[in-house]
Amino acid sequence: MNRVLSTIAISAVLGMLPMSGAVLFMDDFSADSGALAKTSLVNWNVLNGTNVDIGDFGALCSAGASTCVDTQGSGGTPSGDIETKSSFALSSGFNYTFSYTANNTAASTVRIRIGSALDTLVPAVDGSYSIPFVATAQSATIRITDQGPGDNVGVYLGHISLSADPVTGAVPEPSTFVLFAAGIVGLITVRKTRQLN
């Protein structure tokens, strides 16, 4: 029993320590079956009556991606508007990086929003990108909205990821101190219980 309590207390303390380079989200769209005019994706909701194309578009999927999303679907409302099904707990005291690869055969742009921490218009340029940003404590989703022009040829996105790194010398939030203290108290309790037995 004491070993179990000790393991739980140690896990609680370790769980409070920030992890370096933690990946919060990653998607290369390989879990999605390739098709045109998709309105349902594995990791994303397709919003506002829009659609996107998913597939192996060869050289259009940049940086060696085997599958990517064309942010302008086929027919209907072509300018895609997708948002992650999962939300992510962003904390102050961390540097975040949103990364992706893009290939653009037209003059399209996309708007990327991650909660209130990041809202940026991505220009029509090919390549691999990393957008660093700092967040306040919040729950956030990733939303990517094609900005047109609506010609059924959007930005081909792949290798999307969101990662976090602790800010050097950052002061933890008060809630982190409380949880850390609870873990220490748990360790002390387990130790005293062992000494009494």
Tokens of 28: 């290369």
Question: What would the pLDDT profile of 101-132 be if each residue is shown by its tens digit?
Answer: 888 877 788 999 999 999 999 876 788 899 99
CATH number at 130 reads: 2.60.120.260
Residue 37 lies in a domain: yes
Q: Which domain holds residue 112?
A: 17-171
- In this prediction, residue 66 carries a pLDDT of 75
- Mean pLDDT over 58-76 rounds to 81
Q: Is the pLDDT of residue 38 over 50?
A: yes
Instruction: Let me know if residue 74 belongs to a domain.
Output: yes
Q: Is residue 65 part of a domain?
A: yes
Query: Using one digit for the tens of pLDDT, what is the confidence trace for 70-80?
Result: 999 887 676 89
* C-alpha closest to that of 99 among 141, 161, 23, 29: 161
Q: Compute how many other C-beta atoms are within 10 angstroms of the C-beta atom of residue 66.
A: 13
CA 197 to CA 195: how far, in whole Å? 6
Question: pLDDT band at 61, cuts 50/70/90?
Answer: confident
Tell me how crowded residue 51 is: count the other CB atoms within 10 A of its CB: 23
In a domain, 196, yes or no: no
The listed range with the strongest mean pLDDT (37-51, 123-137, 161-175) is 37-51
Whether residue 3 lies inside any domain: the answer is no
For residue 97, is it within any domain?
yes
Give the relative orientation of helices 2-16 and 174-196 as an angle to the nearest 10 degrees.
Answer: 160
pLDDT at position 170: 46
Question: What is the domain count for the chain?
Answer: 1
Residue 143 lies inside a defined structural domain of this protein: yes
| Confidence at residue 11, expressed as pLDDT on a 0 to 100 scale | 43
The answer to whether residue 195 is domain-embedded is no
Q: What is the mean pLDDT of the chain?
A: 80
pLDDT tens-digit map of 141-154: 999 999 987 777 88
Return d(Cα 112, Cα 100) in angstroms, integer: 11
Strands annotated E in the chain: 22-27, 35-38, 44-46, 52-55, 68-70, 81-84, 88-90, 94-104, 110-114, 118-122, 127-134, 138-140, 142-146, 155-166
Task: At 151, list the tokens.
Answer: 């010609």
What's the whole-number mean pLDDT along residues 61-88?
Answer: 85
